[in-house]
């Protein structure tokens, strides 16, 4: 994983002490889950995308590189991809 991408991600996040919890950081990045649930019905879920799009982009690039160049993460990706097809 190139150091420049990690540095860019950390620069976008800034001081982590500014966030009360991990949930606040997730919300800031726009990765919190939104949904159409009501009562017993779960409905459809998605990420909100209302936060910092640069953080989401950097996380995507870092994750894509991990899947391409690391056997462990490639296996994990393939497992979850096949799991989604089974449902």
For the chain (length 87 residues), average pLDDT per consecutive 10?
84 94 94 82 84 93 93 94 74
Secondary structure element (H or E) that encloses residue 73, with its range: helix 71-86
What number of CA atoms fall less than 13 Å from residue 75's CA on the CB side? 3
pLDDT for res 86? 67
Domain interval for residue 40: 3-86
Max CA distance (Å), the chain: 46
pLDDT at 77: 93
* pTM across the whole model: 0.75
Provide the number of structural domains found in the chain.
1
């Amino acid at each position: 994983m190139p150091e420049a991408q990690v540095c860019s991600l950390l620069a976008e996040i800034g001081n982590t002490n500014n966030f009360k919890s991990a949930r606040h950081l997730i919300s800031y990045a726009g990765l919190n889950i939104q949904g159409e649930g009501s009562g017993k019905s779960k409905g459809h879920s998605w990420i909100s995308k209302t936060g910092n799009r640069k953080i989401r982009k950097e996380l995507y690039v870092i994750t894509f590189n991990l899947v391409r160049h690391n056997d462990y993460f490639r296996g994990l990706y393939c497992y979850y991809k096949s799991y989604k097809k089974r449902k």
